[in-house]
Chains A and B, each alone.
Chain A
Amino acid sequence: MFDEKKLQEIKEHCSKWEDGVLRKTLDSVPESCEEFRTLSGIPVQRLYLPQQKDYMQDLGFPGEYPYIRGVHATGYRGRMWTMRQYAGYGTAEDTNQRYKYLIGQGQTGLSVAFDLPTQLGYDSDHPLADGEVGKVGVAVDSVQDMELLFRGIPLDKVTTSMTINAPTNVLLAMYITVAAKQGVAQEKLRGTVQNDIFKEYVARGNYIFPPESSIRLVTEIFEYCAQHMPKWNSISISGYHMREAGCTAAQEIAFTLANGAAYVEAALQRGLQIDQFAPRLSFFFNSHMDFFEEIAKFRAARRMWARIMRERYGAKNSCSWMLRYHTQTAGCSLTAQQPENNIIRSTLEALAAVMGGTQSLHTNSYDEAYATPTEKAVQIALRTQQIIAHESGVVNTVDPFAGSYFVEWLTDEMEEQAMKYMERIRSMGEGEYPMLTGVIKGIETGFFHKEISDAAYRYQREVESDARIVVGINKFKMEEEKFNKTLRVDEAVQCAQIERLKKLRKNRDGKKVQDALEKLEKASEGTENLMYPVVKCAGAQATVEEICDVMRSVFGEYKEKTIF
């Protein structure tokens, strides 16, 4: 898009500049280190200059292929990103209060954090649940809890994201049941289930069943949503947790898009048509501390996904090409030291997410290196987003960093590195579905685990050798008072849940539960979409564990290989 002659002129002047002004400056003030690198280790040059680019092919317009400049034609001028704080703790009543508080403070979407027993398919009275009930999220054992969780919140008015993976069908079925009780048909529901099992095997650890059965469950959700829940995102393909586990920015988008392509192939293998399910695939990324690297990462991911979907999988519907995503600021960047500094970290990360064009955002609270956040800390985190949205002016124009010599270069570099990784994963696969088989191979051989733990170890060594500065950790340290303002989840929550379970089992129609579970077992042994029998189980007030136990008995359980 530049005149060749002008580019030549710039190049010639650059040599002169290097020998003149630059040399003189370096002689009097040497640079602070020999090599400058991004957080992920990409070397950064002193200066970036205009480069020859095909504007229409490589950048294009917002709302148009390849979407590097965003999926909406008007950016945030028409629709602000959804402010969606991941929240859940204690009982359904506790969390319901927190949701109402957040909505009252101007939050625009809900995001449910379930406790670990729920995410792993155990009821609150299971021995493994001891101590974990209501801790990192809300305890949901049955549709009763789900109903309390959304009491007074009209489900046709809010969008709800649920971080649920291995037992996605169970919790989605309970949500649908509660909505129906409110008089809201499933067709009208808007929201997202995470439903991304691959990254559970790789980084997050909340898996139940082996890959083959898990993939069946994932694609059943695609199918069910395509048929009955047209406004629901059937998956949130997540790079967030792999990044938290230590991988680099390029690995984050490479592994996430590889997983995405693997799910696409799994759905095709099931017999779904690409444009039937692809428009409802959504994504979830991390926003870390390196401002430009993150912006470049988001932009690159959008262009890559558009090309993959259009060119490799032949999607025709433009909605299938669009990478829409939620972002969360980097939990692993928070420090326990001088915790107030985390407010600034979250602000910078949130700003990068917005400059990258996110559709939805969670900002971490400053006290999360200690515990789940207090109401005050969450309030500041939400206000951070509101200040960016309404005071900073960054939303006034679309994709404001486009055309920055550096950001465009870094976007290309990010894409190149990520594509190399994706090719590697593809080459590990075989047959008609090389990404699907490649990703499964990568999980089973520990390829992803090794890549991630290598990067995590490298980073930690950089910090400990002072090659990387983290304020309050290896520089600008100070004596501090003990930090004692953390949220505590009362142990009484567990007792209350156990009592509620006892009552539930006594008062419900046991025969109806038994019948529903037996139908589920039969269906699990066959090929029917399990969402239908699971919805029946949820309606009959079967518990999360009872439903999961049926699937466990048919599918078996996944045992991970331990690699460090």
Chain B
Amino acid sequence: MEKKKIVVLIAKPGLDGHDRGAKVIARALCDDGMEVIYTGLHRTPEQIVDAAVQNEVNVVGLSILSGAHMTLCPKIMELLKKRGVDVIVIAGGIIPQEDIPELKKLGIAEIFTPGATMESTVKFIREKLNA
């Protein structure tokens, strides 16, 4: 039986305009056979959670390079919880190491910082979903 495609939402919350990382990861996941939806820039937490629900995604990848991660990530995680959305959330960008434990406490499964490979991201998602 053919395996169900993994659906990933790559999202840019906040006002940050840096999307090189988001796009490179989106392409790598596509090339690995996943279905990828990219939100584009300047999305609110509400818009991101809406998109996750509408597209029935398995994974949400948040890309933040503006330093607003400690405000935006909690908002998104809370909204997901409130709406009972069962997804794996990962994040990437310019995120100081000292913030990582707190982000993980919020339920973010993994944080990919500069130097992380596309391969490690793909592998992480596949292992988490046993797919």
Contact = CB atoms under 8 A, between A and B. Distances in A.
Interface of A: 116-117, 119-120, 122, 127-132, 135-136, 200, 204-206, 244-246, 332, 334-337, 369-372, 453, 456-457, 460-461, 464, 472-473, 482-484, 486, 488-489, 560, 562, 564
A564 B94 CA distance: 20
A128 B66 CA distance: 13
A562 B39 contact: yes
Contacts of B44: 127-128
A488 B113 CA distance: 17
Contacts of B68: 130-132, 135
Contacts of B94: 369-371
A464 B117 contact: yes
A371 B95 CA distance: 7
Nearest to A339: B114
Contacts, number: 114
Contact of A205 (B18, B28, B38): B18
Contact of B114 (A116, A130, A336): A336
Nearest to A463: B117
A334 B113 CA distance: 12
A464 B118 contact: yes
A336 B113 contact: yes
Interface string B40-81: 111010000000000000000000001111111000000000
Contacts of A457: 23-24, 27-28
Interface string B73-116: 00000000000000000000010111000000000000001110
Given A117-B15, A132-B14, 16 more contacts: A128-B14, A129-B15, A131-B72, A135-B66, A135-B67, A204-B17, A205-B17, A205-B42, A332-B20, A336-B115, A369-B94, A456-B23, A457-B28, A460-B118, A473-B115, A484-B97
Interface of B: 10, 14-20, 22-24, 26-28, 36, 38-42, 44, 66-72, 94, 96-98, 113-115, 117-119
11 contacts: A116-B15, A116-B66, A131-B68, A132-B67, A332-B20, A457-B23, A460-B28, A460-B118, A464-B118, A464-B119, A483-B97
A457 B30 CA distance: 12
A335 B44 CA distance: 29
Contact of B98 (A117, A486, A489, A560): A486
Contacts of A132: 14-15, 66-68, 71
A136 B94 CA distance: 11
Contacts of B16: 116, 136, 205
Contact of B26 (A246, A332, A564): A564
A337 B116 CA distance: 10
Contacts of B23: 453, 456-457, 564
Contacts of B115: 335-337, 369, 472-473
A472 B115 CA distance: 9
Contacts of A135: 66-68
A262 to B, nearest CB: 21
B20 A244 contact: yes
Contacts of A489: 67
Contacts of A464: 117-119
A562 B38 contact: yes
A187 to B, nearest CB: 34
Given A116-B66, A136-B67, A336-B115, A486 B96 contact: yes
B105 to A, nearest CB: 17
Given A453-B23, A453-B27, A562-B39, A206 B114 contact: no
Contacts of B66: 116, 132, 135-136
A488 B36 CA distance: 33
Contacts of B14: 116, 128, 131-132
A57 B94 CA distance: 47
A232 B28 CA distance: 44
Given A116-B16, A128-B44, A135-B66, A564 B38 contact: yes
A132 B28 CA distance: 29
A471 to B, nearest CB: 11
B29 to A, nearest CB: 10
